Structure 1
Amino acid sequence: MDQQQKITDVLMVGATGTIGQLAVRVAQRHGLRPRALVRDVRRAARQLPGVDLVQGDLEDPASLRSAVRGVDAIVFTHGSGGDPRPDAREHIDYGGVRNVLSVLDGARPRVALMTSVYATRTDVPNASPWKRRSERLLRAAGLPYTIVRPGWFDHAGPTQRRLVLEQGGTIDGGIASEQIAETLVRSLLTDTALGKTFELIAEEGNEPSDWTGLFAPLKADAPHALDGALDPADLPVEAEPARLRADLTVIRTANTSGA
């Protein structure tokens, strides 16, 4: 596993969304330089004044090359919510990660990927496997990473500030949006978060003061594994559609050949 690398320039994917805007501000507060990937620069300039903006479309890999160039880290907070297309989750939640990873050209930024507390759940109505599949792409890439699976956005009261990090896909609950953003950025700056996948909710109690200690007890994902530590084995890779297995091969080859 990669050791902590110096992080300065951070590409924010999904920067104009609720969590994305908060993550941009958290990154600035920690002395990082966020670079926001946006489709509409003029609109984004109003939402993110003073932030470095780069135009790109997650569905167009060629448009992403300039966005990823020279960054030390990437934070993914994008999502397909609000997109009416029936296949939006495949094209955005999954395809966005695939397309960014496909244009790194041998670079090895540290990555914080936000998915969902239900990423591995098959018992929840309307739960989708696409975020779990996007996680597999990131693990296949062999980059230094942390995968955060937050619970329900802002379904937490004002005194629920104690962060609960669990693994195994059984926890449920809510969390404040700013806590999600803080956790994503902190994961880039904390060695004990490397190579770990976890669900994240908030319960009654105080804010964390020791982030190293917060991440430390978590079990790291197995080297070269495509699923997170303690993930249920109910979505076998060998049973996935051929095009998804091909994506894993392409991403693994593209990002490990120059490592």
Structure 2
Amino acid sequence: MKVSPTRSRPAGPLGADVAWFFTIAILLCFAISVPMVFRLVPTDLYNVITPIMQMTPLLAAIIMWLIRRPGTFRSTFATGWRGAFGWAGIGIGLIAAIAAIQTAIAVATGIWTLNPVDQIIGTAVWILPVFVMQSVFAIGEEFGWRGWLATRAASWGFWPLAVVSGLVWIVWHLPVLAVIGDLPFWDIVIYFAGMLPWAPLLLALRWRSGSVWPAVLTHGAINSIRVYLLQSVPNATDHLLIEVIGWVLTLAAAVWLMRKGGAPFVRDAVRPAQA
């Protein structure tokens, strides 16, 4: 999908491009969620609609790329694999470590208890297939948020981009309310607030590696390995302290990755190319 240099066009105003990307991604996601929001389809179909919703950031990014075409698909979406596996390993390891620390603290303080050993072992067989499935589903999100957007808005700097994209990511997730059902207001606030720390971590992996794939695979780990460690290993209940510990550790991991000389055991870390 390479684009000839003679056909490349100026990137256009950065703010307008980003605003259009956000708008298209959100409107597409909301439109696809209509059957769930208004209960027009059986709940069994939610598992079909949700992965389609996850594709909307990618669709929005492709639309913007086709309009602007500042470079090749590979460079704009950062789809190169060089060094990606090492950074993906770091991301997945951080996800597992943070979740394990949360569970260990909750069990040690008596907030949670462990599930029966046979149950823990029995559910472990699903970690790999669920991880693969969730990573595939995450492509649609990450190619948009940490692929096209991270390249196009690289000049904003890491933390401004992480905060803005994280807030918009929360808005994009609002149709999830149709799936999780009726919850107390503060539970909803905590649920959505918990998404914000993931944006810096995923962007840090993309930023340091120069590839979108570590963000994709780490996103898959969030929805598989993390869920296993926090929900299958312990008999977990909602608890604000354990949530806050996870938020703090996730932000700390992003800071560690982005500090100069962070993760020195991975070679040739590069910043994302600007459009």
TM-score normalised over the length of structure 2: 0.28
Q: Where is the strand percentage greater, Structure 1 or Structure 2?
A: 1
Q: Larger Cα Rg: Structure 1 or Structure 2?
A: 2
Q: Where is the helix percentage greater, Structure 1 or Structure 2?
A: 2
